[in-house]
Structure 1
């Protein structure tokens, strides 16, 4: 009989290794996204909107908001060391932001099982909710960290 894996224990035991992996995202880094909080099933990331990140109307481009939300989602769903991929997302844009504004995405795990994870990502400028995203992850069998005791 296979032993059930306690993924929270994996998160605690391998925190540094997992954190190093999820933080090392070249695309997020190229945008200036900073990972500000990392917990089991939760992530917060921040971005200061630059002048080249706006649309024709002078407000932050939706793709930039999405990239910030997607990074927070990626970090939250990979927090247990198990390779997880985005399966689907739905985003609603509520308000805009401008160059110089600091926007923050907070990804919260709603439910997770063996194969899927469900997340809500809220994006804020100060206390104003500017976008919200629902996301589903697909959880592969593979752990991206070394887990000798599970083999």
Structure 2
């Protein structure tokens, strides 16, 4: 990894080191490039709802984490201004979900990011669109 690549991912790594929610879910950051992130999660029994399928809130949390990594592209703290999710397929405990976030556009203080969540077979589970807002705070 080059020094430039290391510098670009430093804010994400610092953010994720303090992210207790993602740690408690067992999320694994596979890729943390500016504008692009990949995060995976193994679905546990305690992540299922009364129908024995993955609770949508956990799928959202996985996608939201990938979005957060992708949109924190520099030293400015960037937060969600809004997000929408469409659930496409139910999953169950024991499956591994992977969220891939990609920047669509970034202009001034705002950005638009799409996140695709798939299961271990590559089948679509959810589509998430996040809108970001860069603050005046820095890490």
Q: Same fold (TM over 0.5)?
A: yes
Select the residue among 51, 57, 74 that pairs with 1:80.
Answer: 74
Distance 1:23 1:63, change over 3 A: same
Measured after TM superposition, the shift of residue 16 of structure 1 is 5.3
| Displacement after TM superposition at 1:15 (Å) | 3.3
1:14 aligns with 2:11: no
Trace 1:113-132 onto structure 2 (pairs within 5 A): 113-125=107-119, 126-132=121-127
Structure 1 runs not aligned, ≥5 long: 1-10, 145-151
Using structure 2 for the length normalisation, give the TM-score. 0.90
Residue 61 (structure 1) aligns with = 55
RMSD: 1.4
Q: Which runs of 5+ in 2 are unaligned?
A: none
| CA distance in structure 1 between the partners assigned to 2:6 and 2:101 by the alignment | 22
Give the TM-score, by structure 1 length.
0.84
Corresponding residue SS for 1:14? helix
Residues in 1 aligned to 2:128 and 2:117: alpha-carbon distance in whole angstroms = 8
CA deviation profile, 1:62-115 (whole Å, cap 9, x unmatched): 000000000000111112222101000010000011110000001100000121
What are the equivalent positions in structure 2 for 1:101-140 lying under 5 Å apart? 101-125=95-119, 126-140=121-135
